[in-house]
Amino acid sequence: MRARLMQATIDCLVERGWAGTTTTLVSERAGVSRGAQLHHFPSKRELVVASVQHLADQLNGDLQRRHDEAINGRGHSTRKTLGLLADHFTSAIFVASLELWVAARTDAELLEIVQPMERRWGREEHRLAVELLGVDDTHPPTRALVQGTLDMMRGFGLANTLSDDSRRRGRILTEWAELIDANARPAAPTGKTG
């Protein structure tokens, strides 16, 4: 029942935004009585805090899954890896996170929760991008290229909320793969074959 309430909260954030998300709507959507909802989460804030944590878990699982898919596929080109990252940053999870992010900007209590969470996500996304792209994160220009690429991905996520931006994004990513291949330093080989 907790999981159902949290999923309903996220769905509600995606469909109606922060302001349109109410505990009444969430309990209706989850098919849970108001009494039961209040028992699990006495306030909107508590409901959202738990759901955001749930969102973070989903997000990490999502990135990890994409990573594993890429590894299984072996010959994962830079272009394919960039496509996986872009899919991640234009997903419903990104949209829900954007709603929280913007709401937190003008809500000090929410900011206290969202700020460290976004920082943690940022670090996790960076670590995965470095691993997926197979580049050397200790090389400052390469590190900056990965960071800038992730900020670009967030820009893509933002652009995609207003209209389907996939064609423009696809064209940029095709050129971007060449940019990365030409400018990023590959990671040192792991000791395995040495």
Alpha-carbon gap, residue 122 to 42, rounded angstroms: 30
**DSSP string covering 102-144, please?**
HHHHT-HHHHHHHHHHHHHHHHHHHHHHHHHHTB-TTSHHHHH
If one asks whether residue 45 binds a copy of itself (CB under 8 A), the answer comes out as no
Q: Is 111:117 a contact under the CB 8 Å cutoff?
A: no
> Is the separation of the CB atoms in 90 and 157 below 8 Å?
yes
Q: Is 127 in the site for a copy of itself (CB under 8 A)?
A: no
Which region among 33-41, 56-64, 70-78, 160-168 touches a copy of itself (by CB under 8 A)? 160-168
Q: From 49, 57, 121, 113, select the one nearest 89 (Cα to Cα).
A: 121
By the rule CB under 8 A, 151 interacts with a copy of itself: yes
Count the site residues for a copy of itself by CB under 8 A: 50
Q: Given the complex with a copy of itself, which of 73 and 170 has the nearer CB atom?
A: 170
Could you tell me which stretch among 2-10, 24-32, 49-57, 158-166 binds a copy of itself (CB under 8 A)? Answer: 158-166
Taking the CB of residue 71, how many other CB atoms lie within 10 A of it? Answer: 11
| Span 12-41, contacts to a copy of itself by CB under 8 A | 15-20
CB of residue 66 to a copy of itself, shortest distance in Å: 19
CA distance 150 to 126: 7
Binding site for a copy of itself (CB under 8 A): 15-20, 95, 98-99, 101-106, 111, 114-115, 118, 122, 140-141, 143-145, 147-156, 158-159, 161-163, 168, 171-172, 174-176, 178-179, 182-183
